[in-house]
Structure 1
Amino acid sequence: MIPDRLKKLRKQAGLTQKQIAEKIQVGQNSYSNWEKGNRTPIQPTIDKLAEILNTSSEYLTGITDDPTCIKISETDLDTAIDNSVAYDGTPITDHDREIIKNYLNEYFSNKK
């Protein structure tokens, strides 16, 4: 699953194997082996590849068949919440933060 999807998305993005390898700081040979199915990248690398290829690690690994289903990162979610305030202008409480995170994760995971 990963090899076919990597190759397809890389070509759609107009990138070479060398360009992607450089972006994730691995050798072109390593990346080539992933596309050939000789090796499988570890999860943190799959996450980086998904980000570069504008998709989700769930799509690359075959959990979903929807390439547009992009998982929001915890860092991006925390940053968005940090830049928000409650309706009354006060900072977001930790309890509200968890409610917002759960809601957004559920919303984006079900969006197709």
Structure 2
Amino acid sequence: MRNERLAKARHRKNLSQSELAEKLGCSKQAVSNWETGYSNPPLKMAIKLSEILDKDVDYLFGKKVQDSQTKKEVC
């Protein structure tokens, strides 16, 4: 399953995969793999992602319908 929420959140912050990877201290390929659903980030990285993207971890990875940080529902 693709992680469209992660990609959308990254786009909303006007970050490329490379820029996000640099902020996280990982490779662009890792970010791409997470967005395509090929793999999932380790917990520490997921927490960093949520902080950088200003989104709840559970929301980013499809566990919640609503993002508690923005209080917006997903259609």
The verdict on a shared fold, with TM-score over 0.5 as the criterion, is yes
8 A contact 1:2–1:60 mirrored in 2? no
Match of 1:15 in 2: 15
Structure 1 or 2, whichever has the larger Rg, is: 1
| RMSD (CA atoms) | 1.6
Match of 1:65 in 2: 65
Deviation at 1:44, TM superposition (A): 1.3
Which protein has the bigger helix share?
1
Stretches of structure 2 that go unaligned for 5 or more consecutive residues are none
- The share of aligned pairs that are identical, in percent, is 36
Residue identity opposite 1:59 in structure 2: Y
The two structures have a TM-score, normalised by structure 1, of 0.57
Stretches of structure 1 that go unaligned for 5 or more consecutive residues are 71-111
State how many pairs are aligned. 70
Which protein has the bigger strand share?
2
The two structures have a TM-score, normalised by structure 2, of 0.81
Which runs of structure 1 show a deviation greater than 3 angstroms over 4 or more consecutive aligned residues? none
Residue identity opposite 1:52 in structure 2: I
Residue identity opposite 1:53 in structure 2: L
